[in-house]
Amino acid sequence: MSKKIVTIVGARPQFIKAAAVSREILKHPDRIEEIMVHTGQHYDPNMSQVFFDELEIPAPKYNLEVSGGGHGAMTGRMLEGIERILLDEKPDWVLIYGDTNSTLAGALAAAKLHIPVAHVEAGLRSFNMRMPEEVNRILADRVSTMLFCPTVAAVESLALEGITRGVHNVGDVMYDVALHYSDRARQASRILEKLGLTEKGFALATCHRAENTDDPLRLEEIIGALAEAARTLPVVLALHPRTRKLLRQFGLEHHLELLAVVNPLPFMDMVALEQAAAVILTDSGGVQKEAFFYGVPCITMRDETEWTETVESNWNVLVGADAGRIAAALDKVLTEKVKCAPVFPYGDGKAAEKILACLTGHPNSVI
């Protein structure tokens, strides 16, 4: 019998992850029907609509248009909206992604209505409970019936919390996405010409984690270090709207002058730039992994990472929000050849296929 699932997305990384699974779902209309719900958490066209267009994600049937406000107000309004939709749609599964407020709201709404929850990117942990993402993912995992882990480490983290039932190591959906779009992006994007950049002749940077943007001292260290790096090589900063807002609020905008600042990039341009960059500096989870997939050295401006494999393999280095450490890491990357361990911990690029098999109870779901 065909299954009906309601997918909850709301933020940029969720659109990208959902693209892999939705593409797989569309291949099997006899087995599964997907209803897409956009919570509205990210609403700027270049943080939302552009991904639906480029990645051919099914248009949301519902858009709750919930954005802004504190965590409580935002999550609460989403919870209310999602509950209403679930009561109407009566799905067999609610599918949630990652670790945002949209993830938590989807998980809670479904669990209270006794609708099974499937969590893609389950088991990720930073072990830093001050991160809103960590709270969201721990609570989402706790009420999920099916937990799709990207790595062995994620499976082990769940086991430490006593969660072993319904846990499937399917690999990372982001790797499915990278395999599908890396060549297309290189062919389709004109961003290198547009920004006057040469292959391996620039650094690419992103910064948006609350722990960095909401703390003026950390933000100044980071943005100052990027400005300093720009004396050595061009630095492209794809500036997240919240970071732009806080730089203005803290009077730090002057540091942007030396940087090639661009608005949040469409995915094809981002993937093209990632592959062409000499080095990536970021605090993004997804960007750390994309650097790893594309064999580009990564400097992570955080104190810890959920994607420990990238660090263990020597491809990624954690430097915190410390201008001195950022500069030293950059110098090392640009002057020494990085030796990467020949391991690939993120699956075989068929995560979406495995997720679908599990959700539809297909015989191939024994993985």
SS3 316: strand
CB of 341 to ligand UDP, least distance (A): 23
CB of 238 to ligand UDP, least distance (A): 3
Q: Applying CB under 6 A, does 299 fall inside the site for ligand UDP?
A: no
Interface with ligand UDP (CB under 6 A), residue total 15
- Comparing CB distances to ligand UDP, the nearer of 261 and 338 is 261
Is 240 catalytic? The answer is: no
Task: Of 362, 353, 355, give the one whose Cα is nearest residue 96.
Answer: 355
Selecting among 38, 42, 168, 208, the annotated active-site residue is 208
The token pair that represents 70 in the structure block: 């504190």
Q: Any idea what the Cα angle at residue 78 is, between residues 360 and 131, rounded to 5°?
A: 90
List, in sequence order, every residue forming a beta bridge with 5; answer none if it has no partner: 34, 93
Which residue is listed with tokens 């983290």? Answer: 157
Within a 10 A sphere around the Cβ of 357, how many other Cβ atoms?
21
Choices 154-162, 164-172, 264-272, 313-321; region in contact with ligand UDP by CB under 6 A: 264-272
CB of 356 to ligand UDP, least distance (A): 21
Q: Applying CB under 6 A, does 267 fall inside the site for ligand UDP?
A: yes
CA distance 354 to 366: 9
Q: Applying CB under 6 A, does 206 fall inside the site for ligand UDP?
A: yes
Per-residue binding letters, 223-252, with ligand UDP (x by CB under 6 A): ---------------x--------------
Per-residue binding letters, 10-29, with ligand UDP (x by CB under 6 A): --xx--x-------------
Check if the beta carbon of residue 7 is closer than 8 Å to that of residue 95.
yes
Could you tell me which residues come within 8 angstroms of residue 175 by beta carbon, excluding any fewer than 6 positions away?
A: 289, 293, 346, 347, 349, 351
Binding positions for ligand UDP, rule: CB under 6 A: 12-13, 16, 206, 208, 238, 264-265, 267, 270, 284-287, 290
The catalytic residue positions are 208
